[in-house]
């Protein structure tokens, strides 16, 4: 297992290098000149050329990439054109906010989706199963921006019990205030993953409980609860863990629509703001941070397989 972990970590190096190369090339193809954006429309051609030389933008593309990659490895992700501040500390704070939202939304999705899928599978075609599948369909079909607005109207404007925007109330710094600001956006964000996890759990459980070893366990006289918990659920979790890992990577990027609706200062909103302002260092850094996080989440998902299912043996 240790050897496999080391191999998987080392295999991330070329993947991450490929991510940096792809991010760099995408930003090179983006419209707009960062130098002219920095100096303004009235800047002289001489000033534009001088700043371009100072920033190394007159060098061949491969030289620019190597210089930028070296800066990334040193922690120098450049300076924001619009905000006039270092990119890495700014995006690190925004990413932390998105991580709060992801953890709460994914926890809610798992705590509701997994049990709902298990109950639907063991009581297939029952009234509870049909109701759960209807709710799953609604979760799939409901646009997050519409749901977010409805929650804002109901809990923020009509009932006035929850904040509807931002991450912190003026003059408040406590954990309780942070949690209150996270409730509505995390509930909105959890709807889609909850439906996906419930549907996958149900499908996986239906396949597992029809296996011969489940019938054997029942024939040995084990109680149904033990058959489901010891022999059914754990064997059904492999595809569910895969889906949870994919959803975690998706949520780490911060659902842009949710962050825009709730004015939530996450990495997704920072990316959109950077795109609108043609702030290339912000956009480049945000994409790199999200893509790298997605790769790391996939690694954690792979490592979780061995813990869940001891039958899995990793080759060298």
| 94-308 carries CATH number 3.30.1490.100 | no
Task: Give the number of other CB atoms < 10 A from CB of residue 239.
Answer: 13
User: Which residue pairs, CB below 8 angstroms and at least 24 apart, start in 304-310?
Assistant: 304/241, 304/245, 305/238, 305/241, 306/1, 306/4, 308/234, 308/237, 308/238, 308/241, 309/234, 309/235, 309/237, 309/238
**CA 290 → CA 31, 44, 167, 251, distances in Å?**
22, 37, 20, 10
For the four alpha carbons of 295, 298, 302 and 307, in that order, the dihedral sign comes to positive
Kindly give, in sequence order, each residue whose CB lies less than 8 Å from that of residue 50, ignoring residues fewer than 6 positions away. none
Instruction: Produce one character per residue of 90-125: b if its CB has 16 or more CB atoms within 10 Å, e if not.
Output: bbeebbebbbbbbebbbebbbebbbebbbbbbbeee
Instruction: Report the alpha-carbon distance of residue 80 to residue 27 in Å, rounded.
Output: 14
Instruction: Report the alpha-carbon distance of residue 306 to residue 1 in Å, rounded.
Output: 8
* Six-digit token string for 316: 């060298």
pLDDT for 110 equals 92
Closest CA to 112 of 130, 144, 135: 135
CA atoms within 13 A on the CB side of 293: 22
pLDDT for 197 equals 92
CA atoms within 13 A on the CB side of 99: 11
Burial environment of residue 139 by CB neighbours within 10 A (0 to 12, 13 to 18, 19 or more):
buried
* Six-digit token string for 48: 């534009």
The residues of the chain that CATH labels 1.10.3720.10 are: 94-308
The pLDDT tens digits along the chain (316 residues) read 677 677 777 888 888 888 888 888 877 776 666 777 777 777 777 877 887 777 777 788 888 888 888 888 888 888 888 888 899 999 999 999 988 998 999 999 999 999 999 988 888 888 888 888 888 888 888 888 899 999 999 998 898 899 998 888 877 777 888 899 999 999 999 998 999 999 999 999 988 888 888 888 888 887 878 888 777 887 888 888 888 888 887 787 657 888 889 989 989 888 888 888 888 888 889 888 888 888 888 888 877 776 666 666 555 4
Q: Please name every residue paired with 86 in a beta bridge, in sequence order, or none if there are none.
A: 79
pLDDT for 185 equals 93
Instruction: Report the alpha-carbon distance of residue 180 to residue 161 in Å, rounded.
Output: 9
pLDDT for 149 equals 92
Phi first, then psi: give them for residue 302, nearest 5 degrees. -60, -40
CA atoms within 13 A on the CB side of 13: 6
Q: In sequence order, which ranges of the chain are alpha helices (DSSP H)?
A: 2-29, 34-39, 45-54, 61-74, 87-122, 127-141, 144-151, 175-208, 212-219, 224-226, 234-252, 256-261, 267-276, 280-308
**CA 286 → CA 28, 111, 163, 245, 254, distances in Å?**
15, 30, 27, 20, 11
């Amino acid at each position: 297992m240790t050897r496999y972990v080391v191999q998987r970590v080392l295999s991330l190096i070329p993947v991450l290098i490929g991510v940096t190369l792809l991010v760099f090339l995408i930003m090179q193809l983006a419209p707009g000149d960062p130098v002219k954006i920095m100096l303004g429309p009235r800047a002289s051609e001489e000033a534009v050329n001088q700043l371009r030389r100072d920033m190394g933008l007159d060098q061949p593309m491969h030289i620019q990439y190597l210089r930028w990659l070296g800066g990334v490895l040193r922690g120098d992700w450049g300076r924001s054109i619009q905000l006039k501040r270092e990119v890495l500390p700014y995006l690190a704070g925004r990413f932390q906010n998105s991580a709060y939202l992801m953890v709460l939304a994914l926890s809610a999705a798992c705590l509701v989706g997994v049990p709902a899928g298990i109950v639907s599978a063991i009581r297939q075609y029952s009234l509870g199963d049909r109701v759960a599948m209807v709710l799953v369909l609604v979760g799939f079909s409901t646009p997050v921006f519409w749901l977010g607005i409805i929650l804002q109207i109901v809990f923020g404007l009509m009932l006035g019990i929850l904040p509807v925007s931002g991450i912190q109330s003026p003059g408040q710094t406590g954990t309780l205030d942070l949690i209150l600001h996270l409730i509505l956006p995390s509930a909105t964000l959890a709807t889609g993953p909850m439906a996906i996890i419930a549907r996958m759990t149900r499908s996986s459980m239906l396949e597992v409980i029809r296996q011969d070893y489940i019938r054997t366990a029942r024939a040995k006289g084990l109680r149904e609860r033990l058959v489901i918990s010891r022999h059914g659920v754990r064997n059904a979790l492999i595809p569910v863990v895969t889906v949870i890992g994919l959803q975690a990577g998706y949520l780490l990027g911060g659902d842009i629509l949710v962050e825009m609706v709730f004015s939530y200062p996450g990495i997704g909103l920072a990316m959109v703001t950077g795109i609108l302002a043609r702030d290339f260092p912000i956009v480049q850094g945000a994409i790199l941070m999200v893509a790298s996080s997605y790769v790391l989440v996939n690694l954690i998902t792979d490592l979780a397989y061995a813990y869940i299912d001891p039958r899995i043996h990793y080759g060298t």
